[in-house]
Amino acid sequence: MPSPASPSPLHADAGSPPVSAWPTILETRGWSDYALLDFGHGRKLERYGGIVVDRPEPQAMGRPRLSEGRWREADAVFTGNDEDDGPGRWRLNRDLPETWKMAFHDVRFLGRFMSFRHVGVFPEQAAHWQWMAERVARDAARPGAEPPRILNLFGYTGLASLVPAAAGAHVTHIDASKKAIGWARENQELSGLEHLPVRWICEDATKFVAREIKRGNTYDGILLDPPKYGRGPKGEVWDLYQSLPELLPMVEKLLSPNAGFLILTAYAIRSSFVALHELMAETLEIRGGRLESGELVLTTEDGARALSTSLFSRWSSK
CB 131 within 8 A of CB 207: no
Is 225 a binder of ligand SAM (CB under 6 A)? yes
Is 307 a binder of ligand SAM (CB under 6 A)? no
Is 199 a binder of ligand SAM (CB under 6 A)? no
Is 210 a binder of ligand SAM (CB under 6 A)? no
Nearest to 26 by CA among 268, 253, 257, 308: 308
Q: Which is nearer to ligand SAM, 122 or 129 (CB)?
A: 122
Q: Which is nearer to ligand SAM, 71 or 122 (CB)?
A: 122
Is 168 a binder of ligand SAM (CB under 6 A)? no
Nearest to 116 by CA among 25, 203, 201, 177: 177
Find the shortest distance in angstroms from Cβ 222 to ligand SAM. Answer: 14
Please give the Cα distance from 247 to 140 (Å, whole number).
28
Residue from 176, 209, 255, 296 in contact with ligand SAM (CB under 6 A): 176
Find the shortest distance in angstroms from Cβ 228 to ligand SAM. Answer: 6
Is 180 a binder of ligand SAM (CB under 6 A)? yes
Is 204 a binder of ligand SAM (CB under 6 A)? yes
Please give the Cα distance from 38 to 135 (Å, whole number).
32
Is 267 a binder of ligand SAM (CB under 6 A)? yes
Q: Which is nearer to ligand SAM, 142 or 214 (CB)?
A: 214
Q: Which is nearer to ligand SAM, 133 or 180 (CB)?
A: 180
* The three-state (H, E, C) secondary structure of 148-182, written as one string: CEEEEECCCCCHHHHHHHHCCCEEEEEECCHHHHH
Q: Which is nearer to ligand SAM, 48 or 267 (CB)?
A: 267
CB 288 within 8 A of CB 2: no
Find the shortest distance in angstroms from Cβ 154 to ligand SAM. Answer: 4
Please give the Cα distance from 172 to 222 (Å, whole number).
10
Q: Which is nearer to ligand SAM, 38 or 225 (CB)?
A: 225
76-80 and 51-56 as β-strands: parallel, antiparallel, unpaired?
A: parallel
Is 123 a binder of ligand SAM (CB under 6 A)? no
Is 250 a binder of ligand SAM (CB under 6 A)? no
Q: Which is nearer to ligand SAM, 293 or 317 (CB)?
A: 293
Question: What's the residue count for the chain?
Answer: 318
| Interacting residues with ligand SAM (CB under 6 A) | 122, 154, 156, 174-177, 180, 204-205, 225, 227, 230-232, 236, 238, 267
